[in-house]
């Protein structure tokens, strides 16, 4: 991927008022010149989350969160910087054109852009088949029977692939797409991949035929693949068919519906996991929005890692049949490896989340989720029910099997609790069952690794007061900033502790009176530095900034000279100095004393 030019970032910042952006997520109240709200990043009863329309920044005086409009979207949506930029660009109708480097990178970028456009166009074509064309009538009838209205179909851009060998391919080629693009996208297959099919001049045919189409999106809402449900059962045909792995789509890394549900996941801190797309859509449309579905029957390690970014708990709502139970068990390892608490909701035989929520309603389904048992309670009972615990051999065999699974629980407290449950249920002494568990790696080491990876925390430690005041002035007042830039600031600040942040401010091209320029500067900072700067931007600027900046800069220069003088005075006391070294140090001391004397002369009322 390329880099997004600073001028584009500044244009996007200028086109997205931070009050409007944050206000689209939750209500704000005016507080003088600013706006305030309860902080979305920590629990509080009194609002300490402030938004500055003039500076176009936010800052929470409770937890320290703060920064630009880009930082808010990144933290609130749990997404990365490029995704936040694209989201805000789309909101403002701005096209993001990235700078790219080598020729192979250019080719990859163009290929990705072509595939994204092809998937977007395909989704729209399938969607129109379903809603507007005669060929979609059987699919419309089926979805109506399943409680999927036209409005819901529009919300999820559901579609229909006609039961023809080359309907989509012919349309796509007429739009200018090459057959190689259709094959790369997985929307078409080459004849070499099949033993049957009509003999036509075309070298490819449609992968999806006679299927209701569910677009699969990445977490910013771009269509990257499809899942197709067979409308009429056919011998040898899979009920569900997914796009193959492509440059856009890695089945084991994508969760269906995440682009619509991630905010609800964060707020609930819990994910309801169901097997199918229709299950998820029915729950979401019923008002149960903290839902996801894996692209298959069981969670992968990558999917669990993605989910952990949003929640700490998972409730599995898989079907009650054998396949659903197996899927729940196969999901366990990946979920445990990411320290997720796992519960299992009871789904009656012959039912699924879609049928349950339509028959029982939202409240009844939510009660079912609230009653969901801890996975290990469910699992221990299920395993123990099929074993004769009166048989010592059968009991020990089951204990060893259960110990293998318990050992995969990374959290030591949770592992201990589960081990106690298993030993009690089997009638085995706790210490005997503990002895069956493999030795664990250092929990402290893993905890440190996770803390570093999380990258969470408050603002960076503030610099010393004089540097902080100069940073505040350089950020808030153009005249003060220009005064500092006219000094020999690089040489002076190189000798000052905590001077790095002021160097960053003076090196940048920010314009204190231009909020978009400030936002562009802030995206170059680390998250702790951005929180610190956001707090400065919400402080009141001194009314006499020009005089104040001269005063504080004078203090910095004097402190540097005094430190140099102390060093020279200590060096001249060292034994075994040559005559030349002594003379040079004497000259240096006299020069430093003269500079200090010059700086100590009164400069007029401005310094008072």
- Please give the pLDDT value at position 465: 86
Please name the fold of domain 6-92. Answer: DNA Primase; Chain A (3.90.580)
Strand partners, 197: none
Please name the fold of domain 104-249. Answer: DNA primase DNAg catalytic core, N-terminal domain (3.90.980)
Question: Residues 29-37: what's their mean pLDDT?
Answer: 92
- Please give the pLDDT value at position 18: 95
377-395 pLDDT, tens digit per residue, is: 887 787 787 777 778 888 8
* CATH architecture group of domain 253-371: 3-Layer(aba) Sandwich (3.40)
The b/e string for 281-306 (b: 16+ C-beta within 10 A; e otherwise) is bbbbbbebbbbbbbbbbbbbeebbeb
CA distances from 511 to 231, 326, 404, 508, 521 (A): 60, 60, 61, 9, 9
* Size (the chain), residues: 608
- Please give the pLDDT value at position 102: 55
Contacts 24+ apart (CB under 8 A), 491-500: 492/556, 492/557, 492/560, 493/556, 495/560, 495/563, 495/564, 496/467, 496/556, 496/559, 496/560, 497/464, 498/463, 498/464, 498/467, 499/463, 499/467
Tell me: pLDDT of 298 over 50.
yes
Domain borders along the chain are: 6-92, 104-249, 253-371, 380-454, 465-607
- Please give the pLDDT value at position 199: 38
Q: Give the model's confidence band at 201: pLDDT under 50 very low, under 70 low, under 90 confident, else very high.
A: very low
407-464 pLDDT, tens digit per residue, is: 877 778 888 888 888 888 888 888 888 888 876 544 433 444 433 334 445 566 778 8
Q: What kind and span of H or E run contains 127?
A: helix 103-132
Q: In this structure, what token pair is assigned to residue 66?
A: 């703060």
Q: Which of 494, 474, 534 is nearest to 75 (CA)?
A: 534
Overall pTM > 0.85: no
Tell me: pLDDT of 362 over 90.
yes
């Amino acid at each position: 991927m390329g880099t997004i030019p600073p001028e584009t970032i500044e244009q996007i910042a200028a086109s997205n008022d931070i009050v409007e952006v944050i206000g689209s997520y939750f209500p704000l109240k005016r507080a003088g010149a600013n706006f305030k709200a309860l902080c979305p990043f920590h629990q509080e009863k009194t609002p300490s989350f402030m938004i500055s329309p003039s500076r176009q920044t936010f800052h929470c005086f409770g937890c320290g969160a703060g920064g630009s409009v880009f930082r808010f979207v990144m933290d609130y949506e749990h997404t990365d910087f490029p995704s936040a930029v694209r989201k805000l660009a789309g909101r403002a109708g701005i096209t993001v054109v990235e700078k790219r480097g080598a020729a192979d990178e250019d080719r990859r970028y163009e290929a990705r852009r072509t595939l994204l456009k092809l998937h977007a166009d395909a989704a729209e074509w399938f969607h129109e088949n379903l809603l507007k064309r005669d060929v979609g009538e059987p699919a419309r009838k089926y979805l109506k029977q399943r409680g999927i209205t036209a409005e819901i179909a529009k919300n999820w851009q559901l579609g229909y692939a006609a039961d023809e060998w080359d309907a989509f391919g012919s349309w796509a080629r007429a739009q200018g797409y090459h057959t190689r693009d259709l094959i790369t996208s997985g929307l078409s297959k080459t004849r070499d991949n099949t033993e049957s099919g009509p003999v036509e001049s075309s070298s490819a045919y449609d992968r999806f035929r006679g299927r209701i189409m569910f677009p699969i999106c990445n977490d910013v809402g771009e269509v990257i693949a499809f899942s197709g449900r067979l409308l009429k059962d056919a011998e040898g045909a899979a009920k569900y068919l997914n796009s193959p792995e492509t440059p856009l789509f890695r089945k084991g890394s994508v969760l269906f519906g995440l682009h619509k549900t991630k905010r609800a996941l964060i707020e609930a801190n819990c994910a309801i996991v169901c097997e199918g797309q229709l299950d998820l859509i029915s729950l979401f449309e019923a008002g149960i929005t903290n839902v996801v579905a894996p692209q298959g029957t069981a969670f992968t390690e990558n999917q669990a890692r993605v989910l952990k970014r949003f929640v700490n708990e998972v409730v599995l709502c898989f079907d009650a049949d054998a396949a659903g139970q197996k899927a729940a068990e196969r999901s366990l390892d990946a979920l445990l490896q990411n320290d997720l608490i796992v519960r299992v909701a009871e789904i009656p035989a012959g039912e699924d989340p879609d049928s349950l929520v339509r028959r029982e309603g939202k409240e009844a389904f939510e009660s079912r989720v609230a009653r969901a048992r801890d996975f290990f309670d469910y699992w221990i009972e299920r395993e123990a029910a099929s074993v004769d615990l009166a048989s010592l051999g059968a009991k020990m065999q089951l204990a060893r099997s259960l110990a293998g699974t318990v050992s995969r629980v990374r959290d030591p407290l949770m592992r201990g609790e589960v081990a106690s449950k298993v030993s009690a249920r089997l009638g085995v002494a706790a210490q005997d069952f503990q002895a069956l568990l493999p030795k664990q790696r250092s929990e402290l080491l893993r905890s440190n690794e996770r803390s570093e990876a999380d990258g969470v925390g408050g603002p960076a430690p503030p610099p010393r007061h004089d540097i902080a005041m100069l940073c505040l002035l350089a950020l808030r007042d153009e005249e003060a900033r220009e005064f500092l830039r006219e000094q020999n600031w690089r040489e002076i600040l190189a000798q000052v502790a905590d001077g790095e942040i002021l160097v960053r401010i003076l090196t940048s091209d920010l314009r204190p009176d231009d909020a978009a320029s400030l936002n562009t500067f802030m995206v170059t900072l680390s998250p702790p530095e951005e929180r610190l700067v956001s707090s400065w931007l919400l402080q009141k600027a001194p009314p006499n900034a020009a005089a104040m900046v001269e005063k504080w800069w004078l203090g910095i220069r004097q402190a540097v000279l005094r430190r140099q003088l102390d060093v020279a005075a200590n060096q001249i006391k060292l034994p075994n100095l040559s005559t030349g070294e002594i003379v040079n140090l004497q000259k240096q001391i006299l020069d430093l004393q003269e500079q200090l004397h010059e700086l100590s002369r009164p400069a007029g009322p401005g310094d008072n």
